[in-house]
Amino acid sequence: MALSSDSPKTPRPKRLPGRLSPNPRILKLHLSSYRELCPIQDLLPRRLPLIRLDANENALGPSPLARKAIRKAAAESHRYPEIAGEGLRDFVASELGVRPEQIVFGNGSTELLELLFHVSLRNRHEEVVLPRHSFPLYEILAQRFGCRARVVPDRNFTADLEMLREAITPRTRLVLLANPNNPTGTRVDNGALVAFAKGLPPHVLLALDEAYADFIDDPPPLREIIQQGIPVTVLRTFSKLHGLASLRIGYALASEEIARARQKASLPTNTSGIAQAAAMAALKDKRHQRKSKKTVRDGRLYLERLFRQLGLCWVPSCANFVMIRPPRAEEVWKALVRRGVLVRSLHSWGLPGWLRVTIGTPEELHRFAGSLREALRKVHPLQPIPAGEPEGD
């Protein structure tokens, strides 16, 4: 018999059996970096449409070709997808000029990062090395796997490769580096990165998270390094430039040996047929890619002019978001939420006083600018806040 909403609920067990009860340390860590500064439901305005500039998504949405592919693949939803996304794998391999066996797909790069920990770490005495202000998932995974994370200070909000190299010990298995980095938007120099990768000891694997590399014109030549047998794995996602965040698909490129280990650790059919079809179409849709990149470039210039006009401190970014430090940032954040504008407070990311703003459409950025002016006036009533559009350079 189907249960209706009036059906009596199953009584909750008083205590979960020991093996099922969640490890409180894991839950606390996990939720704290993915949650907002405080529950936002009570702050959100009832009538205003929300402007979401908080998750570095593509404001233009999926490409027209991807939308078409999604509709077509949805009609085949009763069929299982290819086990390891073989069709898409061949296509990506031919685009990159590598062998298909070097590519592994995952349920977003989130899953690929978890698989990397599975295949790289054997016991809790082993270590991972990462820069201080990077994507929180790296530390979450280190905690989950019970290994030690050596967290290395940045230099000017940019990963310090020399310090990362010095932090490596005989116990290090993984170095995790996002380039461009989230949340700072900075990148490391290509030549320095190649030299760093080449100089790594053989027991260390470098995981280069390139979630935002589509937004730079000259990404580092990592494919060549991998082909030379240097232990590097590159992670790419369809969640950012390609606007497919909800479909959860990304890929890792590595040597065949590393890719094989990861493929063995992954579960069959970990990406859906819809995601595979959409990803292939998105890769083919160069027009949408160009348009999305232009939106980000123009939006970044607009935001920089705005921050200059308002006298705010920001970190120059090469990705689809910018980090700013308005005085009394947490109050400014709340005032923005009250106006229906969501940006990311970096308080729980170890950067109190900083906010991260995703570059949206021109209309969204225009509304953000108006709301930011209002928020600053509210939080700093005695300070003159310039009105009007920021002037061009």
Q: Is the dihedral of CA 348, 353, 359, 365 positive or negative?
A: positive
CA separation for the pair 300, 381 (Å, rounded): 28
**Neighbouring residues of 39: CB distance < 8 A, sequence distance ≥ 6:** none
Minimum distance from residue 353 beta carbon to ligand PLP (Å): 21
Among 220, 250, 273, 326, binds ligand PLP (CB under 6 A): 250
CB of 105 to ligand PLP, least distance (A): 11
CA dist 127 → 139, 146, 210 (Å): 11, 9, 22
Give 371's contacts (C-beta < 8 A, 6+ positions apart): 51, 335, 336, 339, 340, 341
Residue 18 burial (CB count, 10 A): 6
Nearest residue (CB) to ligand PLP, 233 versus 371: 233
| 172, β-bridge pairs | 127
Q: Which is nearer to ligand PLP, 62 or 250 (CB)?
A: 250
Region of 218-226, 237-245, 372-380, 384-392 interacting with ligand PLP (CB under 6 A): 237-245
| Residue 324 structure tokens | 């700013």
- Taking alpha carbons only, the member of 260, 13, 29 closest to residue 144 is 29
Q: Check residue 209 for interaction with ligand PLP (CB under 6 A).
A: yes
Tell the smallest beta-carbon distance from residue 108 to ligand PLP (Å): 3
Q: Which residue is nearest to ligand PLP (CB)?
A: 108
User: In the bound complex, what is the minimum distance in angstroms from residue 90's beta carbon to ligand PLP?
Assistant: 21
Q: Does the protein bind ligand PLP through residue 85 (CB under 6 A)?
A: no
Ramachandran angles phi, psi of 387, nearest 5°: -100, 180
Pick the closer one to ligand PLP by CB: 274 or 376: 274
Q: Quote the least distance from Cβ 101 to ligand PLP, whole Å.
A: 22
Q: Is 295 in the site for ligand PLP (CB under 6 A)?
A: no
Considering the rule CB under 6 A, would residue 182 count as an interface residue with ligand PLP? Answer: yes
Task: Between 180 and 369, name the residue whose CB sits nearer to ligand PLP.
Answer: 180
Asked if 211 is part of the footprint of ligand PLP (rule: CB under 6 A), the reply reads yes
| β-pairing verdict for 250-253 and 321-325 | unpaired
380 in Cβ contact with 328 (< 8 Å): yes
211 or 351, CB closer to ligand PLP?
211
388 conformational bin, left if phi > 0, alpha if psi -120 to 50, beta if neither:
left
Strands 172-178 and 205-209: parallel
What span, in angstroms and rounded, lies between the C-alpha atoms of 193 and 265?
A: 28
Query: Residue ranges of the alpha helices (H) in 35-160?
Result: 64-74, 86-96, 108-120, 137-144
Among 51, 53, 54, 56, binds ligand PLP (CB under 6 A): 56
User: Of 317 and 371, which CB lies nearer to ligand PLP in the complex structure?
Assistant: 317
Q: Report the nearest approach of ligand PLP to the CB of residue 129 (Å).
A: 16
219: contact with ligand PLP by CB under 6 A: no
Residues 100-119 interacting with ligand PLP (rule: CB under 6 A): 108-110
Q: Which is nearer to ligand PLP, 239 or 295 (CB)?
A: 239
81 sits in which H/E element: none
237 lies in the binding site for ligand PLP (CB under 6 A):
yes
CB of 248 to ligand PLP, least distance (A): 7
**Of residues 121-140, which lie at the interface with ligand PLP (CB under 6 A)?**
135
> Whole-number minimum distance, CB 107 to ligand PLP, in Å?
8
Strands annotated E in the chain? 51-53, 103-106, 127-131, 148-152, 172-178, 205-209, 232-237, 250-253, 313-315, 321-325, 341-345, 355-358
Q: For residue 6, with 0-12 CB atoms within 10 Å meaning exposed, 13-18 middle and 19 or more buried, which class applies?
A: exposed
Nearer to ligand PLP, 209 or 214 (CB): 209
Min dist CB 195 to ligand PLP, Å, is 22
245: contact with ligand PLP by CB under 6 A: yes
For residue 149, what are its two tokens? Answer: 């994370």
Least distance (Å) between residue 85 CB and ligand PLP? 14
253 touches ligand PLP (CB under 6 A): no
Chain residues that interact with ligand PLP, rule: CB under 6 A: 56, 108-110, 135, 178, 182, 209, 211, 237, 239, 245, 250
